[in-house]
Amino acid sequence: MCVIIKDALLGSDPQTRPHFTPAPLKGQGSDSEGRRSLALLLVTRCSRLPAWSPLSDRMKRRLLLVSNSTLHGGGYLEHCQQHVSGFFGQQVKRILFVPYALHNCDSYTKTARDKLKTLGYEVDSVHEAADPVEAVRKAEGIFIGGGNTFRLLKALYDHNLVTEIKKRVLQDGVPYMGSSAGSNVATISINTTNDMPIVYPPTFSAIGLVPFNINPHYLDPDPNSRHMGETREQRIIQYHEELDTPSVLGLREGSMLLVEGNKATLLGSTKARLFQRGKPTTEHDPGSDLSFLLTDAQ
């Protein structure tokens, strides 16, 4: 119902929705402003907004969704470099890097370029391209790095890349790797990011390559802590107090999810914690088959 109302008010494609600043619900100057404010509330409260793709498209997807790019005691992508090499393989020669999650895109690109070169890959950065959309259309592989998820998603919409990336990955089979924020935007929404909303994307709906959400850098409660704020687990449970909210996979640092068609496998050195609305949380070891998360109804 939320999707139907929202589409009637704003249109069904998030890529073409107007960017606007919502007016207060009381004392609206026009009916149009009131409708837009109501639509914004629906957009932020309804998690299943991205249109889900046909099964035939989903069979082509290949995703490597990493919790973190740097693990304590190691260098950039060091903890997952074997998985990265195995994921992109020898057929991919050049990887399109998306550095929008950090302010200094040049410096971020250099970090990614230097590391991936040691693994045998050349790197093009989307922020260096004259036409970002065309760069995505020509990409052999895509890697979206971490940083601030709100900044990242806003930039993807600003550059009209959300629909194009989804098409390349699901329809053309282009391998997609995300780290932290880059893993967040691969999911159905960014509602379960850890980041502050430093900028305002037009919607929390993300690329929608999988029908669930991820919480990267998942932290377990510390029984000895004197911190009185909510734990990560409490915040995810609060999210599931809302209706129609998808499962949330808490990826601890050191873990990652490999998705190949309709098969999902947990990789890495740490367990993942799964939150499903109305169900007890569950723990999953590296090597676990999490393919059930890829069904439309979990």
First to last CA, the chain: 19
Closest CA to 183 of 220, 145, 154: 145
Alpha carbon separation from 268 to 68, 115, 124, 138 (Å, rounded) = 11, 19, 27, 30
Q: Residue 235 and residue 249: Cα distance in Å, rounded?
A: 13
Q: Residue 181 and residue 68: Cα distance in Å, rounded?
A: 9
Instruction: Judge whether 210 and 293 are in contact, CB under 8 Å.
Output: yes
3-state DSSP call for residue 218? coil
Place of tokens 């995300």: 178
Q: Residue 176 and residue 58: Cα distance in Å, rounded?
A: 13
Angle between helices 31-45 and 2-10 (to 10 degrees): 140
Instruction: Judge whether 134 and 160 are in contact, CB under 8 Å.
Output: no
Q: Residue 36 and residue 13: Cα distance in Å, rounded?
A: 15
Question: What stretches of the chain adopt beta strand conformation (E)?
Answer: 62-66, 94-98, 122-125, 142-144, 176-179, 213-216, 248-251, 255-260, 263-268, 272-275, 282-284
Say which DSSP state 110 is in. H
Q: Which residues are catalytic?
A: 180, 195, 217
